[in-house]
Structure 1
Amino acid sequence: MRIQPPPATKALRRVAVTALAAALMAGAVSPAPASAHGGVTGLTAAAGQDRSQLQKAMQAFVDAGFTGIQLRVRDARGEWVASAGVRKLGAAAKPPTNGRFWTGSVVKTFSATLMLQLVAEGKVGLDDPVAGYLPDLGLDRRITVRMLLQHTSGLFNYTGEYYDDGTFVPGIPATGDAWLNNRFRSYRPEELVRLALSKPARFEAGTDQNYSNTNYTLALLLIEKVTGRSYAELLQRRILRPLGMSATMVAGNRTELPGPHAHAYYSYQGQTVDISQQNLSLLVGAGDLISTTQDLSTFFSALNRGRLLPAELLAEMRRPYGELRYGLGVFAEDMGPKCGTVYQHNGSPPHGYGALMYSSPDGKTTLTGSVTWVDSATRGPVKDFEKLLDTLVKEVFCGTPADRTKPTR
C-alpha cells in the first residue's frame, strides 16, 4: 500500500523523518568553543582542515533565504563547528554555534529509547496491546507498543491529516495563521490523544504506515503509567544526567529558549512576528524538546554505540520498516554504495526552527544542526530544504559534494 507522506506544509519535518540518527564519538573530541559573537568557530580538533565545501553547503541555506544555520560535524578529521546567517533580523551577529533551539520531532528518538529501556527491563512488551497499559482510553486492542514506535498504528494525527485524495482533516491548530494566534496555549497529553481518538483511524492497525504525532504522545503516557514517574524526570535520570547533557530539557509549558539562541519569524498580514517564543506542549512526547548541537550529538553517539540499549534492541530500533524506512524512533536512509546507510531523526516544531541529527552506523561521523527562517502559511524557503539538506549530508557522509542533478526524496 502506498504510504501517505507527512503533509507538504510540514516539509521540514518530512525530511527530518527521512534523515538519520546522529551518533558521535562520545568523549573522543573536546567541544569547540563558540566565538564571542556567535560566528564561525575555528577548526578545533585538527588545524588546517579544508572544510570549504562543507561551509559552502552551509552557506547555501542562507543564500536560499534561511535566516541562520549552526552546524557541528565530528568525524575522523576531528570536530568542525560553524554558523552562518544572522541570530536575529536587523542584527549582524551570527547564530551562536551551540545555542539552544526547539528541536521538534527529534524527541521521538528519545521517547523510543526510553520505551526500549523499559522493554529491556521486562516492564513493557513490544508486541503487547497498548490498551493493556492504558485501559481508560478505549484504544483498539490490536494496536501494540511496536506499532506506536513504528507509526503503523493507523491512529489519526492530532495535528491534522492529509489524505491521498488531497483532502485535509484538521486537528489542533499546529500550522499557519491559526497556530500563530494560539502558539502560547497549553495542552495536556490526554487532551491530544482523545482528540485523535475522536477521529476515524487512517487504516487498520498494522496494515500500513503513516507518520503521526499521536503515536509518540501515547508512548509518553504509557511510559509514565508503567513507571509512575514523569517523562521529564525519566529523561533526566536515564539519559540526560548519565550523558552529561546539561543543555537539554523537556519544553513543557516553557515559552522561551534559555540562553543565547537564534530567532525565528512568521510573516503574517504584512507583519513579521518573532516566534522564538512558543509553547510546544501541543507536541508533548512527539516534538517538545529543547537542546543544542553538542547535546544532540552526545545522545546519538551514545545510542548508536550501544551505551543506552542492549545490542538486540538497538538493532531492532534501527531496522527500517515500510516505505518511510522508519524503525523504532529512527529513520534509516540508504545513500548508495559509496555512502552506505545513515541514521537520522530531524525535526521541526510548527514553524521557524529545524533540527538536524545524523550519524554513520558506528557513530564516528555525525552531523547535528539547527536552521531558522522567516516562515509563513506557505512555508517560505522550506521549499528548497530537501535539496539543500541532500547536498549537506552527502558532503559530510560521502566525502564529496552531492550530485546536484540527482533528484532528492
Structure 2
Amino acid sequence: MLVALVTAAAMAVGPSVGAASPKELQEGLDGVVAIGALAEVRDGGRVWRGSSGVAELDSSRKVPVAGRFRIGSVTKTFVATVVLQLVAEKRIRLDDSVERWLPGVVPNGANITVRHLLNHTSGLYDFKDTLPMPPSEEFYALRYRTWTASEQIERALANPPMFNDPGSRYEYSNTNYLLIGEIIEKVTGRTYAEEIEGRVIRPLHLHGTTLPGTSPYIKGPHPHGYVPKDGGMIDYTELNPTLFGASGDMISTTRDLNRFFAALLGGHLLPANLLEEMKTPGTENGRYGLGLTWHDTACKVRVYGNDGDALAYQAYSFSTEDTRRQATVAVTPHLPDNPDDSVDAFLDRAFCG
C-alpha cells in the first residue's frame, strides 16, 4: 500500500495521537478494504493525516491526503443542523406536520412531522429503491441526468409506505431529506444549499466543502471513484449530484468534516437543548437521532457522527461527545466489497488504540 502523511503542527506534537501511534494508524488505514482511503485523526491539538492505496486504478498515483470526496449521507447532518437552527429561531417546529409546509404533497402528511423526517420514522418509501443499479444499463444512462426533488419525491410516493404509523419504528429513507430540503426552502425562501453555505460552510471556514448543484465534477485534488461494469470497474468520479440532492450531494475533506463535527458537538452551532434532541434516537434502542447517529467502539467509547454512501465514495466521520478525539475516513470502495467492517476496525484503532 502507498502511504502519504503528516500532521498539522509539523510533527512537533509527541509520538502518538490518542492511544494509537502514527505507525499504528497508518497500518490500520492500510487494512481498510478499498481502492484508496484517506483519513484524519485528531486528539486535542494533535493531528494525524494519512492515505493508502491509489488515487486511480492502473496507476501508482497516491491518494491525496487533503483530497476531496463525495460525503453521501453525511450531508444529512448539515441539513438537520440548518433545520434545528430554524427551530431555535422559532421559524419552524419539530412537531410541525409535513402538510403544514408542503400541503397536498405527501399522503398522510398531516400525521408526519418534521421530526419524523429527520429521524427516519416517517415510514415513507425510499426514493433510492426506485432507481436502477449496476449492472443495469439504465443505471449508466442516468449518470448525467438532472433530477428535481419533486420528481424524486413523486417516484417514491408512488409506492406504498413501509409502515402506516409515523414515529412507531425506524426505517431509513432518503425521501425524508428530499422533503426536508423542500421545507427549508418554504421556510426561508432560499434553497437548502444556500442555507448550508451561509449558516455552516462560511462561518466555519470549510474551504474544501461544496454543494455542487448540477456540476458533475469534484474540483481540486481527489481520488477517483469506481462502480462495477461488465465484470470490471469503470471510473464514476463524474456524475450529476442532483441524484442525491438534500439527502447526500455534498463534497468535503477529512479536515472540514472533523471541523464541522467539532463545532456541532461542541455547542457552537446549536443551543444545548436542540443538540440534545439531535443526539436522541427516534426509537427505543435506536441509534439515529435528528441527522446524527452514534456508534460504540470496541473499547466502549461512544462516538457521534454519521456515515455516507455516494456510489463510488463512502465517508465516515465520528467524534467523542467532548470532541477531544475525532476520526474521519473516506474510501473509494472496490465494489461489491463492503469496507464497513475494515473502517470500523480503523475507528477502533483511532479511538481505542
Once the two structures are superposed, what CA deviation does each residue of 1:62-117 show, in whole Å capped at 9, x if it has no partner? xx4x1110000010470000101111112212111111111110100001000000
Once the two structures are superposed, what CA deviation does each residue of 1:143-172 show, in whole Å capped at 9, x if it has no partner? 000000010000000111xxxxxxxxxx02
Question: 1: CA distance between counterparts of 2:304 and 2:69?
Answer: 21
Show the counterpart of 1:308: 269
Q: Residue 134 of structure 2 contacts residue 228 of structure 2 at CA under 8 Å; is this kept in 1?
A: no
**Could you state the TM-score of these two structures normalised by the residue count of structure 2?**
0.92
Letter in 2 for 1:252: G
Question: 1: CA distance between counterparts of 2:15 and 2:296?
Answer: 31
Percent identity over the alignment?
Answer: 38
2:302 pairs with 326, 337, 341, which one? 341
Superposed, which structure 2 residues align to 1:215-364 within 5 Å? 215-322=176-283, 323-335=285-297, 338-349=299-310, 351-364=311-324
User: How many equivalent pairs are there?
Assistant: 341
Superposed, which structure 2 residues align to 1:169-180 within 5 Å? 171-173=130-132, 176-177=135-136, 178-180=138-140
Shift of 1:175: 5.2
Letter in 2 for 1:230: T
Q: More displaced, 176-185 or 192-201?
A: 176-185
Shift of 1:363: 1.0
Shift of 1:176: 4.4
Letter in 2 for 1:288: D
Superposed, which structure 2 residues align to 1:69-84 within 5 Å? 69-76=37-44, 78-84=46-52
Letter in 1 for 2:131: I
Q: Residue 303 of structure 2 contacts residue 320 of structure 2 at CA under 8 Å; is this kept in 1?
A: yes
Higher relative contact order (CA 8 A, sep 6+): 1
Show the counterpart of 2:155: 195
Superposed, which structure 2 residues align to 1:54-133 within 5 Å? 54-61=25-32, 64=33, 66-76=34-44, 78-133=46-101
Q: Residue 159 of structure 1 contacts residue 174 of structure 1 at CA under 8 Å; is this kept in 2?
A: no
Shift of 1:183: 1.5
Question: 2: CA distance between counterparts of 1:74 and 1:174?
Answer: 36
Show the counterpart of 2:114: 145
- Aligned: 1:158 with 2:127: yes
Letter in 2 for 1:126: L
Unaligned runs of 5+ in 2: none
**SS at the partner of 1:285?**
helix
**Could you state the TM-score of these two structures normalised by the residue count of structure 1?**
0.80
Q: Which stretches of structure 1, 4 residues or more, deviate above 4 A after TM superposition? A: none
- Aligned: 1:183 with 2:151: no
